[in-house]
Amino acid sequence: MNSPFIFSREVVNDAFVGRREELSWLSSNLSNKENTVLIAPAGYGKKSLVRNAFIQAKKQTEFKLCTCHLFNVRDEYAFYTTLTHALFSAACATADEWIAVADQLLPLSQPQIIVNERKQNNIQILFDKQRLLENANEALQLAERLAGQQNVPFIVWINDFQEIADFENTGDFQRRLVSLWKNHHQVGYILCGSKVNAMNLLFAEKHPFHHFAEQILLEPVEEKSFIDYIIRSFSKSGRVIARDFAETIWRTTLGYPFYTQQFAHLCWTNTQGFVNDSMMDGATTDLMNHNDRFFRAWVDGLTMPQINYLRAMIDGIDRFSSSEVIRQYELNSSANITRVRGALEKKEIIHFVRNKPLFIDPVFEMWMKKQYFDIG
């Protein structure tokens, strides 16, 4: 029997848990072509939310969806080529259509359309780099022009949007995007990013994208919805988990969807009948072990002052600048604490909520406490 708990891919329909308010909000934005930004860590359910919103919005509004991934994009040229290819893939069904659209809508960029005969429907668009950069506005206006040409709205869904922050001359690039995209009336942009601190900075006050999109804040999936889902999923598969154990799953993972589903899955695989205390303990250990290699890689990239800062957080320290804390945790000086904190934010290990440092990843925090520092 397959596990009812899904954590390695997008979930839709009945497998989608909670977030009804956010789903309705995003679906409405899609129908109205409102620009939207979603900021949350990887595994927090952004893609699942967007996918379910598309399903819901499609019942009310016709549109074409363009999906664009920037995880391997490091400069403007790669951005334009990636975006253009994604738009052509969404708008054109045949090679002839690719060629026609390129001739009509990209006359200055003059791309080549290459068809791979060995792979069905594998079509590539190739640009001369210098010519594309000189005529970049063609690529940035393409979505609006395609929507006008085909008489149907476009939704452009861009993942890992935070990567543009590392482009050379990123400020000028961001201003260029905003100056053109803010005037698009037949296109709605969904900008998603998993690096929380980098994304928050991109959309912060006094930055080009500050007023560009409406931000939907993704909180942890609400406790009752997830607990009821866990209990119901066990029951449907002929297994039983007590409510207090389901509550432990949610509270251990703080409603972080990837980990909550993974923890529930591990509990489910550990029993053929009723979940008991030893099964819960085994699943907790399995949860840390399953993610151990990722967490080890994170720690390997930390300096000792950064590790000491995390230990202080785990110990509940909230006044880092006191001389006693600086001495006890070997943080050297107040100026060094500022540098350490900035480095941990840049590495997306911590963020600040109401001026208090918190781990972004709750299972990493638990792993650091139990496995790294060996705190019972």
96 and 196 assigned to the same domain: yes
Given a contact cutoff of 8 angstroms between Cβ atoms, the answer to whether 342 and 352 are in contact is: no
129 and 271 assigned to the same domain: no
Instruction: Identify residue 144 by its one-letter amino acid code.
Output: E
Task: Specify the pLDDT at position 119.
Answer: 61
Of 194, 217, 240, the residue at which a domain comes to its end is 217
Q: Give the domain extent around 160.
A: 19-217
E strand spans, the chain? 36-39, 64-69, 112-116, 122-126, 154-159, 187-193, 214-217, 350-353, 356-359
Q: For residue 1, is it within any domain?
A: no
- Beta strands 154-159; 187-193: pairing state: parallel
Q: What stretch of H or E contains 330?
A: none
How many C-beta atoms surround the C-beta of residue 189 within 10 A?
A: 24
Q: Sign (positive/negative) of CA torsion 259, 261, 262, 263?
A: positive
- Beta strands 36-39; 214-217: pairing state: parallel
pTM of the model: 0.91
Of 217, 238, 257, the residue at which a domain comes to its end is 217
Task: Specify the pLDDT at position 376.
Answer: 72
Instruction: Identify residue 40 by its one-letter amino acid code.
Output: A
Given a contact cutoff of 8 angstroms between Cβ atoms, the answer to whether 91 and 84 are in contact is: no
Q: What is the pLDDT of residues 59-114, one digit of tens each?
A: 989 999 999 999 999 999 999 999 999 999 999 988 899 999 999 999 999 999 98
Given a contact cutoff of 8 angstroms between Cβ atoms, the answer to whether 63 and 38 are in contact is: no
Q: For residue 3, is it within any domain?
A: no
182 and 245 assigned to the same domain: no
29 and 120 assigned to the same domain: yes
Q: How far apart are CA 27 and CA 31, in angstroms?
A: 6
Q: For residue 14, is it within any domain?
A: no
Q: For residue 10, is it within any domain?
A: no
95 and 192 assigned to the same domain: yes
50 and 167 assigned to the same domain: yes
Task: Specify the pLDDT at position 177.
Answer: 97
Cα torsion at 260, 266, 269, 273 (round to 10°)? Answer: -70
**CATH code for the domain in which residue 275 is found:** 1.10.8
Q: How far apart are CA 356 and CA 290, in angstroms?
A: 29
Task: Specify the pLDDT at position 116.
Answer: 77
Cα torsion at 146, 147, 153, 158 (round to 10°)? Answer: 40
Q: For residue 255, is it within any domain?
A: yes
Q: For residue 2, is it within any domain?
A: no
Q: For residue 358, is it within any domain?
A: yes
Of 237, 267, 290, the residue at which a domain comes to its end is 290
**CATH code for the domain in which residue 341 is found:** 1.10.10.10
How many C-beta atoms surround the C-beta of residue 76 within 10 A?
A: 21
176 and 312 assigned to the same domain: no
Residues of the chain predicted below pLDDT 50: none
238 and 255 assigned to the same domain: yes
**CATH code for the domain in which residue 178 is found:** 3.40.50.300
Say how many CA atoms lie within 13 Å of 51 toward its Cβ: 13
When divided into structural domains, the chain yields a total of 3
121 and 261 assigned to the same domain: no
Instruction: Identify residue 236 by its one-letter amino acid code.
Output: K
Rg (CA), the chain: 24
196 and 343 assigned to the same domain: no
Task: Specify the pLDDT at position 193.
Answer: 96
229 and 354 assigned to the same domain: no
150 and 265 assigned to the same domain: no
Q: For residue 350, is it within any domain?
A: yes
Task: Specify the pLDDT at position 118.
Answer: 67
Task: Specify the pLDDT at position 121.
Answer: 63
